Chain A
Amino acid sequence: MDPVSHRIANALVGNTAEAATLEIALSGPELLVGRDALLALYGARFGAEVDGAPLPQSRPVLARAGTRLRIGRVSAGSFGYLAVAGGFDLAPVLGSRSTYLPGAFGGWRGRALERDAVLPFAPDAEALAAARFGRATRGRRAIAAGRSETVPWFVPALSLPEHEVPAVRALAGLHSGAFDEPARAALFAARWRIAPESNRMGFRLRGPRLELTSPVEILSQATCLGTVQVPPAGQPIVLMADHQTTGGYPKIAEVIAADVPLLAQLPPGAALRFAPATLDDADAAREALAARVDTLVQRIRWELGDESA
């Protein structure tokens, strides 16, 4: 859902972006670490504990075999990402290690983790943990966290909302002209709330009813990540990571790519407003976000003692 946080979580343990992380929505599991591993939890903030002590987030943690990790409930944001050095050992399906719940394939058996699930580390996870944590702490002091250890630095959040009613920038959609003037104005003026029945496929929004000037007949056509479609009931749905490939509802707007991670981090019940953007704004915002992510990844690599940083 939040590819930026997934990317940074991986960077914190020395992985590239392709390594599988565990996505944790709103409330997390209790995990028993089977072998020494270098872990990092990034993205949403949780009341997480490691062997009963607070788990330091947004930084690498060397967790010893037998460590208990309790992720707990979210305190800011919506989706956290737990990364492990070497990645979780899952076979890619159709070029991806992520889980597609509606089709029950990909990731860990195509399902959400359940009690007693065993999520395998890479075969060399222990060696990677020792080598990467050793490099990261060379000449510096490690900090005890329960029986585990961490580093004296952490990185800032990149996609958590900074305002109570964050602005999500959006372009006019292909069918915005089919909506009446009050609807087009309301889209950008109203305060929207994310409905509880939202999921990885789409965020349903609650707010003023958006009316068409007259009924439109749209032949099924492609939809994208960030498409804001409006079913006949007039309440918009923003399509998210597991969105359908095509649809026949009119598209009133398209959330810009740079603001999808921010939107993903808004939990059910959260408020947001849309801010109008142009294609040039969207392209500039994407370039700026890519630069921020790259700068942070470079800084992490330097902190980890990565020779190539």
Chain B
Amino acid sequence: MKAGKRIGPIVAPLGDSAVLLSVSDGMDLDANALARRVATAIRGRRLEWVTDVIPALVTVAVCFDARTAREAAERRATLERVLLKAVERGTGAQADLPARTVEIPVCYEAAFAPDLEEVARRTGLAAARVVELHAAAPHRVLMLGFAPGHPYIGGLDARLALPRRASPRARVEAGAVAIANAQTSIYPFATPGGWNVIGRTPLVLFDPAREPATLLEPGDRVAFVPIPRGEFERIAGERGAR
């Protein structure tokens, strides 16, 4: 399974209650954009027996409800047809969809960046240069996944490409901005995590009372804006006072 090799779109059952469309074998931005377009198209069909649509880097899963065996077989066949048609329509479309830019204020100061020094050491760059490169690059949300509102953001400067930490941290704080695997992620909740934490945002990534609940959507452009600690506290404080 080598990355980069293109295959035709494939639809396969994912368990007995979902199907998975793969548009490519390897990660590339066109395949990612196509997966997002297909997901939007399937949601737009509003099939009442579809329970979830899960776009990822180069795949789209569609979960469905069925009661009888006949219903299940028919729905799988319908989804295969609808997904392949959406791929066909999406492939000719403009490679890049219009996207909004979301500014994410990030405090990169030591208190919020437990792995910044190590990232600097491993990349041979000064810590300030790591921050500069991270904030300067044009980032893009490739997918949401794992936990509610958790973004996988592409566009990391190649000089910052590092694997995950050898041993995961037992606790990564909510809002932690972390890099690994040529991507950036932001932890919506305090959880264990293995990515290299280089800063923290005071923004809330997932709020079930907000509409939409997620701060970011797949396809969004992201601009990381360095802020000092005082500004972090001010934004976090406003949030608390609301």
Contacts and interface: CB of A to CB of B under 8 A. Distances in A.
Interface string A285-300: 0110010000000000
B69 A287 contact: yes
B16 A222 contact: no
B57 A224 contact: no
B15 A246 contact: no
Given A219-B27, A286-B72, A254 B14 contact: yes
Contacts of A284: 69
A141 to B, nearest CB: 38
Interface in B13-47: 13-18, 20, 22, 26-27
Contact of A226 (B3, B15, B67): B15
Contacts of B9: none
B231 to A, nearest CB: 26
A227 B27 CA distance: 23
B70 to A, nearest CB: 8
A63 interface: no
A36 B163 CA distance: 59
B138 interface: no
A222 B63 CA distance: 10
A138 to B, nearest CB: 33
B178 to A, nearest CB: 15
A217 B20 CA distance: 17
B16 A257 contact: yes
A174 interface: yes
Contacts of B79: none
A201 B145 CA distance: 14
Given A93-B208, A219-B56, A280-B69, A103 B147 contact: yes
Contacts, number: 112
A222 B69 contact: no
B146 A244 contact: yes
Interface in A91-137: 93-94, 100, 102-106
Interface residues of A, number: 38
A279 B146 contact: no
Nearest to A228: B15
A283 B59 contact: no
Interface string B207-241: 01100010000000000000000000000000000
Contacts of A290: 67-68
A217 B186 CA distance: 22
Given A103-B206, A174-B14, A219-B59, A283 B73 contact: yes
Contact of A222 (B3, B14, B67, B189): B14
Nearest to B26: A219
A22 interface: no
B9 to A, nearest CB: 14
Contact of B17 (A93, A103, A178, A224): A224
Most chain B CB within 10 A, of A93, A217, A220, is at A220
A94 B18 contact: no
A222 B206 contact: no
A256 interface: yes
Nearest to A102: B189
Contact of B57 (A100, A171, A220): A220
Contacts of B3: 217, 219
A14 to B, nearest CB: 23
B152 interface: yes
A225 interface: yes
B16 to A, nearest CB: 4
Contacts of B61: 221-222, 224
Given A105-B208, A222-B59, A283-B66, A174 B12 contact: yes
Most chain B CB within 10 A, of A174, A255, A280, is at A174
A257 B69 CA distance: 12
A221 B67 contact: no
Interface string A52-89: 00000000000000000000000000000000000000
Contacts of A220: 56-57, 143, 145-146, 152
Given A220-B143, A222-B18, A286-B16, 19 more contacts: A102-B189, A103-B206, A171-B13, A178-B1, A217-B3, A221-B20, A221-B22, A221-B56, A221-B59, A221-B61, A222-B60, A224-B17, A225-B17, A245-B146, A256-B16, A279-B13, A283-B16, A286-B66, A290-B67
Interface of A: 93-94, 100, 102-106, 171, 174, 178, 216-222, 224-227, 244-247, 254-257, 279-280, 282-284, 286-287, 290
27 contacts: A100-B148, A102-B191, A103-B189, A106-B208, A171-B16, A174-B12, A220-B143, A220-B145, A221-B22, A221-B57, A221-B61, A222-B14, A222-B20, A222-B59, A224-B14, A225-B15, A225-B17, A226-B15, A227-B14, A244-B146, A246-B146, A279-B13, A279-B16, A283-B68, A286-B69, A286-B72, A287-B67
Which 3 pairs between the two chains have the least Cβ-Cβ distance?
Answer: A246-B145, A222-B61, A254-B15
Interface of B: 1-3, 12-18, 20, 22, 26-27, 54, 56-61, 63, 66-69, 72-73, 143-148, 152, 188-189, 191, 206, 208-209, 213
